[in-house]
Amino acid sequence: MDCFIITKKFHIAQFKRGAAVANVMFIFPGQGSQYKGMGIDLIEKSKSALEVYNKASSVLGYDISELSFQDKNNQINLTKYTQPVLMTHQIACYEFFKDLRESSINPMLLAGHSLGEYTALVLSGSITFEEGISIVSKRGELMGKHGSGAMLAMPFERKAAKDIINQFNCEIATVNQLKQTVVGGAHTDIERLLERLANDYPKKRAVQLRTEGAFHTSLMKRAADEFKEYLQDIKFREMSIPVLSNFSSEIHKLDGSESEELLYNQLYKPVNWLGCMQTAAEMEVHSIIEFGGGIGNDTNPNEKRPNLEGITKKNFRSMENTVNYFPAINTSTIENTAKIIRQ
């Protein structure tokens, strides 16, 4: 059976089952890709995935399986829970994928969007899964505790967005792609900005995001300062695979010596996903596998779509680079991707 990929000029081309891929990057999404029921399909087919959930629950001191699968208390969208839920799902997807492979795929690079950067550090060997779960749990707790303000996705390039938001005391929070910039600010400032955009740019659609605060802006500085104190007790080890920093758009030093500072800055300064993908293209990444999370209104995990695929493909398209994209976000896509590619 054949599947289809996007080639350098983004024509549709056949990609035969079992064909080899080279220069692979693994990526992991951030908040916004969580949903009630995520992971329940994995544990029905994978003992390794179940072990991941059990291990996370043991570390956290609460049942993350129940929270992820049933969410009886409507907690999955609270930042303190969202972050460990997503990391657990991402690692569970990876473990199931690994079990289905006759031989391992060795990525040349790892990257994650915001929270996803921590999952990348786990897979690099810089921190253990148990450490990673503890770190993102603390990070989410502090972001929820000190969170204030709101976030708005604007269909503008970074410079154009900055010129507009300067009048409203807002800040750049995330540069996702050339023409998508997320900004953050106080609720009243975001409301005024929305009103101005509607009046001055009626054909451009800005979308307010559902978050507990203006993440990746100075409104997170207090959370970041407390988080930095927590990170001082974490030992970042030698990385076996390079990891891209959201803050610098370059790779972490492999010895882990600058990771604490990069993660501190990432919390209250902009995420540059566009810059990360530009670095990946310069390093000649040709294939991407996205692990975990999912978007879409359907409640069935196997009907979810990958969170980062759209913006990541557009980033590579803007650089006229080849990118073969493979989702591994539920049992269906993981099984399909494991069958299609080899290395």
Separation of alpha carbons 54 and 65, rounded Å:
8
CB 284 within 8 A of CB 22: no
Token couple for 326: 């493979």
CB 268 within 8 A of CB 216: yes
Report residue 238 CA to chain centroid gap: 22
* The dihedral formed by the CA atoms of 263, 264, 266 and 269, expressed in degrees to the nearest 10: -170
DSSP string, 146-179: H--SEEEEESS-HHHHHHHHGGGT-EEEEEEETT
Q: Pick from 130, 204, 151, 165: which is nearest to 31 by CA?
A: 151
CB 296 within 8 A of CB 304: yes
CB 110 within 8 A of CB 242: yes
CB 264 within 8 A of CB 281: no
Catalytic residue positions, numbered? 114, 216
